[in-house]
Amino acid sequence: MTYRTSLKKVAQIRIAGPDHKGIIATITNFLFKNSLNIEDIDQRIVDGYLIMNMVVDLNDLRLSEAQFIKNLKTTAASMGMEAELRTVDEKRLKNVAFLVTKEKHCAQDILEKMKKKIIKGIPVVVIGNHPDLKSLAKKYRVPFFHVPAHNRKEHETQVLKILHDHEVDLVVLARYMQILSPDFAFRYEGRIINIHPSLLPAFPGPRSYHQAFNKGVEVVGVTAHFVTMDLDEGPIICQESFRVNKSKDTVEAYIERGRKMEARVLSRAVQLFLANRLYLRRGKVIFNKQMQALAQKTQSFYQGK
């Protein structure tokens, strides 16, 4: 969750892990004893996992922030939970990680816009399950890690460590042709953005252009969305579409037109997130008061209007 506030010292706290009795009471009591006021809380259980996202006021915290975080993690660990605290600072540029496979068009578009300061963020790492885009990362002077995905559990364990080591704020799935496990997705919920080559909820899963071609649709599109534990069912951030000629167009024509749109729509979603213009709240994308004007402006920019 990310949103504007007039408070001097605000932080986001995330608690996640297997659900059982007493977790919410223990955490909220811990915060109370440390003089923290809970400004907002979002909690739910998904597939036996409890997820708590809170916004807290740190103004009256008596401990050092480092000591408080240590105590928070210890308290959470005593219940088999993981805890994370991130200070809200809208002026700070966010660290961005790219998960890629072989196609470069989406990652390259965002990296180029970051280089030109059109998208304001810091690309801190590119992680590929194939080595193909190492040269792209080198071009933009971003560290590249090749993490094979033959074993998904080992792959995700390594990727999570890299993300943690680089203090990543946003994970961009730039045509990353792997399905993230629920365990991975819930750890970065609200901080993973994917581009899917269809107008979701239509045609989820692989080979979406082929699905659209075989169904004979007249409108094809792409969707940028937050990643959740359900495949291609995460809350939608933005979409674009194009009409096709069913009597003339081939599936290859769908793919060629779609790739340009994928890069444009994913870039727009990333820009809006990094500009603190949206956040994920109870499974829905929430835009702040300035969102509509910025959304129209960025859409016009990326469509070349």
What was the pLDDT predicted at 289?
A: 55
What was the pLDDT predicted at 89?
A: 75
3-state class (DSSP) for residue 220: strand
3-state class (DSSP) for residue 139: helix
Name residue, tokens 């196609």. Answer: 103
pTM score, whole prediction: 0.82
- Taken in order of first residue, the domains within the chain and their CATH numbers are 10-87 (3.30.70.260), 95-302 (3.40.50.170)
Name residue, tokens 């966010």. Answer: 94
The CA distance from 135 to 4, in Å, is 38
Along the 305 residues of the chain, how does pLDDT read in single tens digits?
Answer: 443 444 458 888 999 889 999 999 999 999 999 999 998 888 888 778 888 888 899 989 989 999 999 999 999 999 999 998 988 777 789 999 999 999 999 999 999 999 999 999 999 999 999 999 999 999 999 999 999 999 999 999 999 999 999 999 999 999 999 999 888 888 888 899 999 999 888 888 888 889 988 888 889 999 999 998 776 778 999 999 999 888 788 889 888 888 989 999 999 999 999 988 887 776 778 787 544 444 455 455 545 54
The residues carrying an active-site annotation are: 232
What was the pLDDT predicted at 300?
A: 53
